[in-house]
A and B are shown apart, each in its own frame.
Chain A
Amino acid sequence: MPSLPHLRSTALLASCVLASLSAQTPATTTAHLAARVLPADGEPIDGALLVERGGKIVAIGPRASTAIPAGATVVDHGTAWLSPGFVDLHHHVSSGGGGDINDMVMPLNAELRTLDVVKPSEDAIARTVAGGVTTTLFIPGSGTNIGGFGVLLKMRPNGPLQQMVVRELGAMKVAQGFNPERGSGDLGAGRMGSSDLLHQLLERGAAYSKAWRDHREHGGAKPEFDASLEQLARVFDGQVPVLIHTAGLRDCIATARMFQDVWKVQMVLSHGCFDGWLGAEALAKRQTPLNLGPRMYEFDRYGRFQGMCQAYWDAGCHNLSINTDAPVVAAEELQVQAAMAVRLGLPYSAALQALTIQPARQIGIGDRTGSLAVGKDADFQVTAGDPLDPRHAPLAVYIEGTLVHRSGDVR
């Protein structure tokens, strides 16, 4: 059962630990020298310097014009490049290699959350970060219309969990089409029924959220507490986005209509595969945030490998990120996904952003990570060259300034 007290206490605990950690360790300053830095939301900087203090980037720029603060530890990465740690918004393997992410009895499970099944010692976490991925949205599967809430994690191998959690309710996972249709003969066997069930619950969630908001803002009688709607209410409070598994032309458009036009919540359309790209113009008009993958092409009626990312991009969908849907594609191969998108026509800079700043913004942490800029978390990776080239495994990965992976740590 969803126990909000428990949720709250975890959150409390997390903030306590973080506070105590930062209190205990005096902020050290480290200056990272690299041949090139790809900030992801700006032009590459050659001969660059990145200064980190207390887990944050405090300076970044060409060495010629950026001073190394006195007393800073200098780490010279030589000819290597620095780029932001990658962000994967569709990740299923932080609980034990892909298991324990679907609870299939009820069609709608807005009370569930993956926070409860994260396993910090899981090998997959170490491997994910070995692929340069520093942030993941660890979401439930698509076995039901609402699988639950995914937790947003920094991929620190072996935890502790409190240091990993960026947001306990990272996003609500909704699945529209291709998986959640139920075979049990009850409502929800088809898309009509699933939509109806979903609308009914969203209606309740919206009303519940509004009742509490009204109460907070205008006082009056306290609404009745409903544990099953507490998580869902955060969506309508605007605190948590919805990440929707959907694909194919019909369902992509239907999804954008339902969540953007009707319910007006923050949403991320995840997958968008098959012929979904045929609806790219309608999605571009709505500026729908897209999180594409794991499929990277459609073999179309003209016998072409139609690059999916490129098709969306060309139609004007520039709010675009790329996922692995790990374990479908190995979590550590997020880089390969972007490389394949480039192979099939996505511009390089768009591909790099699709692994960094775009997903960070889509999930609401664009001010914190996803690019290398002053004030942001020092989440970055060191590679021998192009970070999208599978020939380059990260030589080192830093999360909030802490070295969390070195080449060879994971075989």
Chain B
Amino acid sequence: MLRLPVLLATTVALLATFELPAQGRGRRGQRPGGEAPPTAPTPEAKPAEATDTKPKQYLAIVGGDVYLGTGQRLSGATVLLADDKIEAVGHNLTLPEGTTVLDAKGKCVSPGFVAVQGFGMGSGRGAPYADSVNPFDPEIKQALAAGVTSFLAGSTGGGATPSGSNAVIKLHYGSVKGMVLQEDSVVGMSVPLSLADREKFEESVKKVKEYLQAIDDFPKKKAADANTKEPQLPPGSEKLVAVLQGKARLWVSLGGGGFNPFGGGRRGGAGRANDLDAIEQALDLARMLGRGVVLQKPISAWLVPDQIAATGSMVMMSPRDRTPSDPTDPDRTGSNLAAAALLAAAGVPVAVTCPGGMFGGAGVGTGGILGQDLNTPHLDAAFAVRGGLDNRKALRTLTLDAAKLLGVEARIGSLEPGKDADVLILEGDPLHYATFVTTAVVNGKVVYEKGKEPLYRHLAR
């Protein structure tokens, strides 16, 4: 049995060993390639690109306790935004002339929350997402009120080969252009794989690696011999190429996952109390790829945090999903409230999501049950704290680590210069149950103010 003191003692630097995907280093004028909708840049986009001619619009959030999303906090600091990017964060910043100032004294400032699962909230009717997003979906306001500024919409796929169709949606209310951060930054597979499927996959990985190598070598060979043929993409391997190029994260479904039998899940028949085999298979894929994968809602990850960390893999989970242990093997079965803390201590990025109970689900409901869906994402992080994760670090499960799981950490997830200007002003500690978002900024625009929307305006504190 694990005890909290043990967890706290094993705190380790949380820096993940993850490479940033090469395409993710987008700054102004150099957006990641995946962001543009496949319909090609619209003619209007061109003048917009020439931003140098247009004076920047500055917005400063001043005087708040600033949680950077990396686990650090600066008291009474300023976050300066220029257009849709973060310009600077710190004390004693000189504000450019004409800066709009939002006073955050006595309040907290945080990166916008990143939900690693979601549906609705204006995400439209599937790919291409940029062509069907609904920037006026009332659910957007509801999600912003909960602090969510980005989420993964669509399917993360499954099966024996990488699949899925999804997009990281930004809740830029009222703007079509700012809503799709990236399409298909996540692809999915499921384990367990049959031996034959595993071999097939291994073969595909080999082929794609050869192909990528051939592409690297091609210019040289072409120079040497003009007749060299251009390498051909192995058929049907686009998704795998994206994974191996670091353009997409591979999410692995473990064939079931935890649930909370006391939160509404039915315990039907022989529920599994342990998914170590599936986790091992997923890590096997990670080793094959030479890249970390994302474990979706594992039950037993807490038993093998170091193995997960060694492959650079990450975990998506709800700390509130519970699987009872099997009385015949209590120490190796069942879920663990301390999982998030144990994994984080081993250096595994952990993102929290909503519990899978009767009223759980990664949408913003209006059905009356509060505390299980995306109306209160901070509670899921709070439960990670309940399991022993440090309060400040727990915010990473909703911000930087969540962005890492989606492969978009170069754009969102922390308050660092050059990143997207997605910022929350909160009434207090972001993970306190009674804290509300007072202001949400997405892409540098104020898109939610508690005092101006009917949702929680009547709850003045």
Query: Which residues, 376 to 432 on B, are CB-close (under 8 Å) to A?
Result: 376, 379, 382-383, 385-387, 391, 431-432
Q: A299-B366, A332-B262, A345-B459 are in contact. Are A304 and B454 (CB under 8 A)?
A: yes
Q: Smallest Cβ distance from A129 to chain B, in angstroms?
A: 12
B224 within 8 A of A: no
Of A295, A296, A408, the residue contacting B2 (CB under 8 A) is: A408
Establish whether residues B334 and A343, one from each chain, have CB atoms under 8 Å apart when the complex forms: no
Q: Smallest Cβ distance from B381 to chain A, in angstroms?
A: 9
Query: Which residues, 368 to 411 on A, are CB-close (under 8 Å) to B?
Result: 388-393, 407-411
Distance between Cα atoms of A344 and B456 in the complex (Å)? 8
A93 within 8 A of B: yes
B220 within 8 A of A: no
Establish whether residues A98 and B382, one from each chain, have CB atoms under 8 Å apart when the complex forms: no
> How many A residues have CB within 8 A of the partner chain?
49
Q: A339-B371, A411-B337 are in contact. Are A327 and B264 (CB under 8 A)?
A: yes
Which B residues lie within 8 Å of A308 (CB)?
368
B267 within 8 A of A: yes
Of B358, B370, B382, B434, the residue contacting A296 (CB under 8 A) is: B370
Q: Quick one: CB contact mask for B257-269 with A, threshold 8 Å, 1 for yes?
A: 0001111101100
Establish whether residues A93 and B383, one from each chain, have CB atoms under 8 Å apart when the complex forms: no
Establish whether residues A409 and B368, one from each chain, have CB atoms under 8 Å apart when the complex forms: no
Of B334, B358, B391, B433, the residue contacting A327 (CB under 8 A) is: B358
Establish whether residues B458 and A304, one from each chain, have CB atoms under 8 Å apart when the complex forms: yes
Query: Which residues, 313 to 358 on B, are CB-close (under 8 Å) to A?
Result: 320, 322, 324-325, 334-338, 357-358
B367 within 8 A of A: yes
Establish whether residues A98 and B454, one from each chain, have CB atoms under 8 Å apart when the complex forms: no
A300 nearest in chain B by CB position: B454
Distance between Cα atoms of A333 and B322 in the complex (Å)? 12
Q: Smallest Cβ distance from B276 to chain A, in angstroms?
A: 15
Q: Smallest Cβ distance from B199 to chain A, in angstroms?
A: 37
Which A residues lie within 8 Å of B101 (CB)?
none
Of A294, A296, A327, the residue contacting B261 (CB under 8 A) is: A327
Q: A327-B261, A411-B335 are in contact. Are A299 and B459 (CB under 8 A)?
A: no
Distance between Cα atoms of A303 and B138 in the complex (Å)? 10
Establish whether residues A411 and B334, one from each chain, have CB atoms under 8 Å apart when the complex forms: yes
B262 nearest in chain A by CB position: A330
B1 within 8 A of A: yes
Distance between Cα atoms of A306 and B432 in the complex (Å)? 20
Of A123, A273, A299, A393, the residue contacting B337 (CB under 8 A) is: A393
> How many B residues have CB within 8 A of the partner chain?
50
B365 nearest in chain A by CB position: A299
Q: Smallest Cβ distance from A302 to chain B, in angstroms?
A: 6
Of A127, A295, A393, the residue contacting B386 (CB under 8 A) is: A393
Establish whether residues B433 and A343, one from each chain, have CB atoms under 8 Å apart when the complex forms: yes
A172 within 8 A of B: no
Which B residues lie within 8 Å of A407 (CB)?
3-4
Which A residues lie within 8 Å of B454 (CB)?
302-304
B233 within 8 A of A: no
Establish whether residues A333 and B455, one from each chain, have CB atoms under 8 Å apart when the complex forms: no
B12 within 8 A of A: no
Establish whether residues B325 and A98, one from each chain, have CB atoms under 8 Å apart when the complex forms: no
B369 within 8 A of A: yes
Which B residues lie within 8 Å of A303 (CB)?
138, 454-455
Distance between Cα atoms of A303 and B367 in the complex (Å)? 13
A51 within 8 A of B: no
Establish whether residues B338 and A390, one from each chain, have CB atoms under 8 Å apart when the complex forms: no
**Other than the known A340-B433, A390-B433, what 7 A-B pairs have Cβ atoms closer than 8 Å?**
A127-B322, A295-B368, A299-B366, A304-B457, A329-B372, A330-B357, A389-B432
Smallest CB-CB A-B distances: 7 pairs: A295-B368, A299-B366, A339-B433, A330-B263, A303-B454, A391-B385, A411-B336
A-B CB contact pairs (8 Å), 28 listed? A97-B261, A123-B261, A124-B261, A127-B322, A273-B368, A294-B369, A296-B370, A297-B370, A303-B138, A304-B458, A327-B357, A327-B358, A328-B369, A329-B371, A329-B372, A330-B263, A333-B263, A340-B371, A340-B433, A343-B376, A343-B459, A345-B458, A390-B383, A391-B386, A408-B2, A411-B334, A411-B335, A411-B336
